[in-house]
Amino acid sequence: MSTDLPVSFPPVRACGAAALFLACALSAAPAHAQQLDWRLSGFGTAGWARTDQSYDFQRFLSESGSLKRDSVLGGQLDLQIAPTWSATVQLTVAPSLKDDHGVQRTPTWAFVSWRPDNDWLLRLGKQRLPLFLNTENRDVGQTYDLLRLPAEVYGIAPSTDMTGLSVSRTWLQPAGEWSLDAYVGADNLSVRYHTRDTGADFIRVRTSVVGAALTLKLDGAHTFRTSLYRAQTRRRDGQPLERRYPLVDSPFGSYYQVSDLLPGPGVETTPSIVNHVVTFGADLQLTPNWRLVSEVARSFQHRTDLGADTLGAYAALLYRADRFTPYVLLSRLKSTGDSWRNAMALEASAQAAPLPELAVAQRAAADSIPVYDQNSVALGLSYAVSPQSRLKGEWMRTRIGRRSAMVDSPAGGPPVSHDLINTLSISYSFVF
């Protein structure tokens, strides 16, 4: 996870600053204005999916099927306060990110905007980061043809939301439009991990972010985006994060000291961990009917050997035939560096542990390291029921290599590895 920032924006302070910003905007509104211009809109997706496996995949999916992975309902209020001032509030209702059972209401957008001219835009408040091609509109499934945005790329960043300040600058050129977005802020979130012995658990963390994105749109047909993002993550309870587990030699054999309750020199810790994420994306209109969309993301993690150091990519080829858009999608996610070596070493230590309690401790530590080795191929179809709604279906086959943190491996056995997961999904997305 990730970012050292000289300035942070706790949500309460940032919302207070946004309220002050809004008050200034209202006082700056023309005296003759009688009322605000406003627009209320909504969106949603009802999505069902199932796999052919008994264990859980991507939190909710198994052979039993579930509506939880893809379903979301949202509403948005846009206020035009004055010619240069506006405000946006968006609220979504979706499965909770804090546990695996509840429903969560989240203010995904809550900011005030100031546009002094057509080239500059400043936003203050809760907003979504311009990391990937569809990060900002990812909850609005009607805006893209893929059934869902590939988790192999869109799940690679520690957080895609923040409360803070963003600045956008646009340049119009003969060939197209350039835009540069820069931002600084913070976000509170819960990080999920699953172990075979204890099930799912969540750690409450705070992530401070700073970054920038450069986007080029050519003649309305091609879009390119590259971004650089830095995030620093700390536990919200003030406890340190694990950095490294020392190897301890004992008369009964070697083991890793994964807890200070075990004999040894002590677990190495760090107050925070840092991620640098670099992304590249392109949406190309090859012909009037053919499109190619591809994105690559690399996350470099620092200050720990037990985190997610990953490389993800996907490519999707789409063909538009009137209201129908069939597509094929290829995606890949791979962990690199020390995270793999430590996960494998802990798993081996668990298998060789002389005591059951020690084996559980080694196994839980291995499961808590978010490593990935998977690739997927998908065939899908999007049908535009109307300009405001889409019906989608998709079959995806995912190959798990050595292991993947997207799989909740069942208790009592080794981690799921070298397995195939077939996922059948259907969804209906709409806006109004």
- Which residue, among 396, 352, 341, has the nearest Cα to 374 in the 3D structure? 396
Pairing of strands 85-95, 72-82: antiparallel
Q: What is the pLDDT of residue 35?
A: 66
| H or E segment to which residue 307 belongs | none
Domain borders along the chain are: 11-431
Residues linked to residue 428 through DSSP beta bridges, in sequence order: 46, 391
Q: What is the pLDDT of residue 19?
A: 46
d(CA 75, CA 366): 41
Q: Note the pTM of the prediction, 2 decimals.
A: 0.90
Residue type (1 letter), 338? D
d(CA 188, CA 207): 6
Residue 199 in contact with residue 364, Cβ under 8 Å? no
Q: What is the pLDDT along the chain (432 residues), one digit of tens a residue?
A: 333 333 333 333 444 444 444 445 444 444 444 468 999 999 999 999 999 999 999 999 999 999 999 999 999 999 999 999 999 999 999 999 999 999 999 999 999 999 999 999 999 999 999 999 999 999 999 999 999 999 999 999 999 999 999 999 999 988 799 999 999 999 999 999 999 999 999 999 999 999 999 999 998 789 999 999 999 999 999 999 999 999 999 888 899 999 999 999 999 999 999 999 999 999 999 999 999 999 999 999 999 999 889 999 999 999 999 999 999 999 999 998 889 999 999 999 999 998 999 999 999 999 999 999 999 999 999 999 999 999 999 999 999 999 999 999 999 899 999 999 999 999 999 999
Q: Does domain 11-431 have CATH number 2.40.160.10?
A: yes
What string of DSSP letters covers 225-284? EEEEEEEEEEETTS--EEEEPPEEEETTEEEE--STTSSSS--EEES-EEEEEEEEEEEE
d(CA 282, CA 295): 6
Tokens 């996922």 appear where?
423
Pairing of strands 268-270, 273-285: unpaired
What string of DSSP letters covers 188-231? EEEEEEEETTTEEEEEEEEEEEEEEEEEEEETTTEEEEEEEEEE
d(CA 406, CA 416): 10
